[in-house]
């Protein structure tokens, strides 16, 4: 923009403002920055919107390793197995924090810089918005024809009538008007202040979401447990199958309560054909919760309807089957009796699991599968044709030896058979022993080792217990962010100026100045001009009646 153009857009009655740059601001070939100058420069860069967006993108990229590599807080066993399988790369990845991404210092640094950047962006804009809300619209520029949108016409009305008509037209459209000065033939108006308010609200809400997520991570916890029907779970750090505590949470902070899974109702689609056959239609449970001296309460819960106990939400996530197995020794004494959890491997609940009998020397281990509706497929072998208990069967093979060599921890759903011996049939020592049990059936083990029996089948439910103090605030801030986004995108910030010139005919010029792109501004200017003509009580002068002096 040239110097003359800048002068044309200067408000009437104002002096020209010369740029005043800070003394410590560096330009090419200019003075060197001092310490204060460098601090200001770094702060400007950090608190720019471009930097905030870059940090937000960087945070998303930094979170990717958390979904690629196993995380200690979620599955420490997988991390240990990964390190064993990758002896060269594993230790380096561990040093870089790839297995504790969300607790690593570099991830926390990006998170903290993003919050500082957002705060530095928002505070100056809040101050500026507060000042603009109390300030009148700017004065009318000298040359309206240099604005992006402008229209003019000649009226058969007095200048005072034209000014009053323009003010009435703009006030009717809820524009804020600059105070009328005696004898002035200009009108200055502005509207759309909610656009910047929505912008600030959106960024404050985003900051609130980030802080809420951080609070939930620091002060929250989550634990997973498999509970069988008619089994009671008592909360405690050692009772969970997996437990993930926030950095500022101690085991003593966990609430104390007991939960008994009274019943688990799961129903599957048996009438439909095609892909819907076998799909779950009902999945709910009934639990009795006891906390302290309060009376026990029986409550129903489902997938999207968790239980709430002392700020902890209990979700019902999964289910499966647990055959009740009894193992007796050669003398008929019970050496093992329990409902064994088998994990589903497909949509028809073909499940796998392991039974570990440590009451015998050497130990006995059984591995195999449970099939709710047993079927033999010529291609796939043993499968389940339907997920419900229509014809349940437990198929096992047996091993003998040390179940826990060197005391190493292992999954309850598998057996390390490397140092164990597989049992063979008595009648054919070359054929591995295997057994298929139905409920109520018992089979003798080879070599006079005793018997194994499947008494019945019950269900188990996978429960997720979670305490997240930042969940509700994050939801609230997400709603505010949506409101701010609607205001930011739906409201248009517009300035409209009117100038009235006296002559043989009254000349009226209406011009608009948008903030950003505004395709509807041209139509608005035309409508305001038309309303001004109508409200002035005159009429627009036809082009044929305009003289040279009018132009």
Highest mean pLDDT of the ranges 27-36, 174-183, 519-528: 519-528
Which 3 state secondary structure label does DSSP give 69? coil
**pTM value > 0.85:** no
Q: Give me the pLDDT at residue 251, please.
A: 87
Q: Give me the pLDDT at residue 235, please.
A: 87
Distance separating alpha carbons of residues 407 and 378, to the nearest angstrom: 41
Q: Give me the pLDDT at residue 247, please.
A: 84
Helix axes 193-219, 105-134, angle to 10 degrees: 150
Q: Are 470 and 431 in contact, with CB atoms under 8 Å apart? A: no
Distance separating alpha carbons of residues 188 and 147, to the nearest angstrom: 14
Residue 332 has what DSSP assignment?
A: S
Residues in Cβ contact with 48 at an 8 Å cutoff, skipping those fewer than 6 apart: 117, 121
Mean per-residue pLDDT for 1-28? 45
Confidence check: pLDDT of 179 > 60: yes
CB atoms inside a 10 Å sphere around CB 356:
18
Over its C-alpha atoms, the chain yields an Rg (Å, rounded) of 38
Edge-first strand listing for the sheet containing 297-302: 232-234, 258-268, 280-290, 297-302
Q: Which residue has the higher pLDDT, 543 or 125?
A: 125
Confidence check: pLDDT of 30 > 80: no
Confidence check: pLDDT of 90 > 80: yes
Which 3 state secondary structure label does DSSP give 389? coil
Count helices and strands (H / E) in the chain. Answer: 11, 24
Distance separating alpha carbons of residues 236 and 218, to the nearest angstrom: 19
Distance separating alpha carbons of residues 109 and 106, to the nearest angstrom: 5
Mean per-residue pLDDT for 324-339? 92
DSSP-assigned letters across all residues of 143-192: -GGGSSEEEEEEESS-HHHHHHHHHHHHHHTTPEEPPPPTT--EEEEEE-
Q: Which helix (H) or strand (E) holds 3?
A: helix 3-8
Q: Are 118 and 207 in contact, with CB atoms under 8 Å apart? A: yes
Q: Give me the pLDDT at residue 21, please.
A: 38
What's the pLDDT tens digit per position in 6-18? 444 455 444 444 4
Q: Nearest-CA neighbor of 438 among 398, 386, 390?
A: 390
Residue 139 has what DSSP assignment?
A: P
Instruction: Give the ranges where 309-359 is alpha helix by DSSP (H).
Output: none
Q: Rounded to 5 degrees, what are φ and ψ at 257?
A: -160, 165
What's the pLDDT tens digit per position in 405-435? 776 667 788 888 888 899 998 888 888 999 9
What's the pLDDT tens digit per position in 246-288? 888 888 888 888 999 999 999 998 887 777 888 888 889 999 9
What's the pLDDT tens digit per position in 59-80? 889 888 888 888 876 667 678 8
Confidence check: pLDDT of 524 > 90: yes
Q: Give me the pLDDT at residue 538, please.
A: 63
Which 3 state secondary structure label does DSSP give 407? helix
Mean per-residue pLDDT for 533-537? 82
Mean pLDDT computed over every residue of the chain:
85
Q: Are 114 and 63 in contact, with CB atoms under 8 Å apart? A: no
Question: pLDDT-derived band of residue 202, with 50, 70 and 90 as boundaries?
Answer: very high
Distance separating alpha carbons of residues 254 and 533, to the nearest angstrom: 74
Distance separating alpha carbons of residues 465 and 309, to the nearest angstrom: 10
- Of 20-24, 379-383, 430-434, give the lowest mean pLDDT range: 20-24
Q: Which helix (H) or strand (E) holds 458?
A: strand 451-467
Tokens encoding 540: 């627009």
Question: pLDDT-derived band of residue 210, with 50, 70 and 90 as boundaries?
Answer: confident
Q: Give me the pLDDT at residue 114, please.
A: 86
Mean per-residue pLDDT for 104-126? 86
Confidence check: pLDDT of 550 > 60: no
What's the pLDDT tens digit per position in 296-311? 778 889 888 999 888 8
Tokens encoding 122: 């928002």
b/e code 204-233 from CB counts within 10 Å (16+ = b): bbbbbbbbbbebbbebbbbbbbbbbbebeb
Confidence check: pLDDT of 520 > 50: yes
Q: Rounded to 5 degrees, what are φ and ψ at 366?
A: -120, 130
Q: Are 147 and 17 in contact, with CB atoms under 8 Å apart? A: no
Residues in Cβ contact with 336 at an 8 Å cutoff, skipping those fewer than 6 apart: 325, 326, 327, 355, 357, 359
Place of tokens 């209406």: 510
Q: Give me the pLDDT at residue 18, please.
A: 41
Q: Are 373 and 413 in contact, with CB atoms under 8 Å apart? A: no
Mean per-residue pLDDT for 168-183? 89
Question: pLDDT-derived band of residue 174, with 50, 70 and 90 as boundaries?
Answer: very high
Q: Give me the pLDDT at residue 374, please.
A: 92
Residues in Cβ contact with 270 at an 8 Å cutoff, skipping those fewer than 6 apart: 277, 278, 386, 388
Bond prior to 522 in cis (omega within 30° of 0) = no
Place of tokens 């609130």: 208
Which domains, from first to last, does the chain contain? 33-133 (no CATH), 138-192+492-545 (3.30.310.80), 221-467 (no CATH)
Residue 452, CA atoms < 13 Å, CB-side half-sphere: 25
Distance separating alpha carbons of residues 213 and 115, to the nearest angstrom: 12
Q: Which residue has the higher pLDDT, 446 or 379?
A: 446
Q: Give me the pLDDT at residue 545, please.
A: 52
Tokens encoding 317: 């996530």
């Amino acid at each position: 923009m040239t110097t003359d153009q800048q002068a044309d857009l200067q408000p009437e009655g104002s002096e020209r403002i010369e740029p005043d740059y800070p003394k410590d601001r560096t330009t090419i070939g200019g003075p060197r920055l001092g310490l204060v100058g460098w601090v200001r420069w770094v702060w400007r860069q950090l608190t720019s919107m471009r930097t905030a967006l870059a940090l937000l993108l960087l945070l998303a990229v930094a979170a990717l390793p958390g979904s690629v590599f196993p995380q200690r807080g979620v599955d420490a066993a997988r991390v240990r197995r990964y390190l064993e399988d990758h002896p060269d790369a594993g230790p380096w990845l561990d040093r870089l924090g790839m297995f504790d991404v969300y607790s690593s210092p570099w991830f926390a640094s990006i998170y903290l810089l993003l919050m500082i950047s957002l705060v530095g962006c928002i505070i100056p804009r809040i101050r500026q918005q507060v000042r603009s809300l109390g300030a009148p619209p700017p004065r009318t520029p000298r040359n309206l024809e240099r604005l992006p949108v402008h229209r003019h016409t000649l009226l058969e009305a007095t200048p005072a009538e034209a000014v009053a008509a323009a003010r009435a037209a703009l006030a009717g459209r809820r524009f804020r008007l600059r105070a009328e000065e005696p004898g002035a033939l200009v009108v200055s108006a502005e509207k759309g202040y909610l656009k910047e308010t929505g912008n600030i609200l959106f960024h404050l809400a985003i900051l609130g979401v980030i802080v809420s997520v951080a609070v939930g991570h620091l002060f929250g916890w989550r634990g997973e447990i498999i509970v069988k029907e008619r089994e009671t779970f008592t909360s405690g750090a050692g009772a969970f199958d997996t437990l993930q505590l926030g950095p500022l949470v101690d085991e003593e902070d966990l609430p104390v309560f007991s939960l008994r899974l009274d019943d688990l109702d799961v129903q599957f689609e048996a009438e439909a054909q095609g892909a819907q056959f076998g799909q779950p239609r009902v999945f709910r449970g009934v639990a009795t919760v006891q906390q302290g001296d309060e009376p026990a309460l029986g409550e129903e819960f489902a997938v999207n309807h968790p239980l709430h106990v002392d700020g902890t939400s209990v979700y019902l996530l999964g289910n499966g089957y647990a055959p009740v197995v009894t193992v007796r020794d050669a003398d008929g004494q019970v050496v093992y009796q329990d409902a064994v959890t088998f994990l589903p491997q497909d949509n028809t609940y073909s499940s796998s699991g392991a039974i570990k009998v440590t009451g015998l020397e050497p130990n006995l281990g059984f591995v195999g599968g449970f099939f709710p509706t047993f079927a033999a497929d010529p291609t796939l072998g043993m499968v389940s044709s339907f997920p419900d208990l229509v014809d349940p069967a437990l198929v096992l093979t047996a091993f003998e030896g040390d179940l826990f060599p060197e005391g190493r921890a292992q999954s309850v759903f598998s057996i390390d058979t490397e140092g164990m011996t597989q049992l063979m049939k008595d009648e054919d020592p070359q054929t591995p022993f295997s057994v298929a049990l139905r409920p109520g059936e018992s089979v003798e083990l080879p070599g006079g080792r005793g018997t194994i029996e499947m008494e019945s089948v019950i269900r188990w439910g996978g429960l997720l217990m979670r305490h997240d103090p930042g969940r509700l605030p994050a939801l609230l801030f997400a709603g505010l962010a949506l409101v701010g986004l609607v205001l930011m995108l739906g409201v248009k910030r517009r300035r409209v100026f009117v100038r009235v010139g006296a002559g043989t005919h009254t000349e009226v010029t209406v011009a608009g100045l948008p903030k950003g792109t505004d395709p509807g501004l041209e139509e608005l200017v035309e409508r305001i001009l038309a309303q001004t003509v109508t409200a002035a009580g005159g009429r627009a002068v036809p082009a044929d009646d305009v003289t040279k002096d009018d132009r």
